[in-house]
Structure 1
Amino acid sequence: MSDKVKLTKEEAAIVQSLLDEGRSSVEYTLKQQVFDPNQWSGKLLPLRKLSFDSLVRAFYIGYEVDETPEERLIMLVQHYEQRLKTATSSQEAEFFDGKLKGIREALSTLNIEIKWITE
C-alpha cells in the first residue's frame, strides 16, 4: 500500500516532531509501538490510536492532516461566499445564497454552533 495516511492534527504534530528529531527517534518510536502501543502518555498519548502500519506509512510515505467536520464546513462556506460575491448572474447568486442558507439552517436545526458560520 503506497497511500499517505490521514492523521489528526495532534498525531501529525507528533509525527512531524519525531521526524524533525531524526532517524533514531523514528526508529525508537516504531520499536516501542511494536512492543507496547499502550505505553504512550503525555504529549505522545495520541500515538495509542495509531496502528503500527499507519505509523510506518506516516514516517516513510507521508501523511495528510485530516480536517475536522467543522473545518470542512468553514472552508465550504468560505468557498460559497466567494462564489456568491463573484456570481455573474442572479441565478448563480441565488444558487450559492441558497446553499449558504441551507448550511446555516441545518446547523441551527441540529443546534450546532460553529462560530464563524453561525454568528
Structure 2
Amino acid sequence: MSEKVKVSKEVAEIIADKINKFGKQMLIINHASCFTDMGELIEENAWIKESKPLNNVSVEDLAKALYIGYQVEQTPEEKLIEYFNLLRRTPEEIKKAEIEGDMIPGLSSEQVVVINTLNFLSHKVKGVNC
C-alpha cells in the first residue's frame, strides 16, 4: 500500500475547501487540466489566488492525497516548538534546580540553548522565545 502524501497546512486547507466545493473527482479533473501530459504547469490553466499553492502539487500526489490520505507537514517553527517542549524539565529536576539556586528553574539547559540560539539569530518563535 502506498504511503500518505505529505502536504503543508496551507495545501491541506485548500484541499479540504475544494473537496467541499467540487468533490474529489471534479477536484482531480480540474487539477489535471492545469498540467501537460509531462506534468508541466500550464500557466493559463493554473490555480490562482488562494488556491495557487496547489500548482506545486502533482496530479498523482493530489490523487494519492484524496484517496489514500495525506499528512500535514509541520512548519519549521512547529517542529521547533515540539522539540523545545520535549526538552522540558521533570518536576524533580525543577525542584532540584530551585534548591541549587538555578537562575531559570523552569527551563532545562537545552531549552536555554535553543532560546539563546534563536535570539542570536534574531529569530522569534512564539511559544519559545517570545
Q: TM-score range by the shorter chain?
A: 0.7 to 0.9
Among 80, 87, 90, the residue aligned to 1:85: 90
Residue 18 of structure 2 corresponds to: 18
TM-score (normalised: structure 1): 0.78
Residue 30 of structure 1 corresponds to: 28
Instruction: Give the drift of 1:5.
Output: 0.7
- Percent identical among aligned pairs is 26
TM-score (normalised: structure 2): 0.72
Q: How many residues align?
A: 112
Residue 4 of structure 1 corresponds to: 4
Partner Cα separation in structure 1 for residue 14 and residue 6 of structure 2:
13
The alignment status of 1:105 with 2:128, answered yes or no, reads no
1:71-94 CA deviation, whole Å, 9 max, x = no partner? 11112222222xx03346959xx9
Structure 2 segments unaligned to the other structure (5+ residues) = 36-42, 98-104
Residues 86 and 53 from structure 1, CA distance in 2 versus in 1: closer, same or farther, beyond 3 angstroms?
farther
When Rg is computed on C-alpha atoms for both structures, the one with the higher figure is 2
Name the Cα RMSD after superposition.
2.4
Structure 1 segments unaligned to the other structure (5+ residues) = none
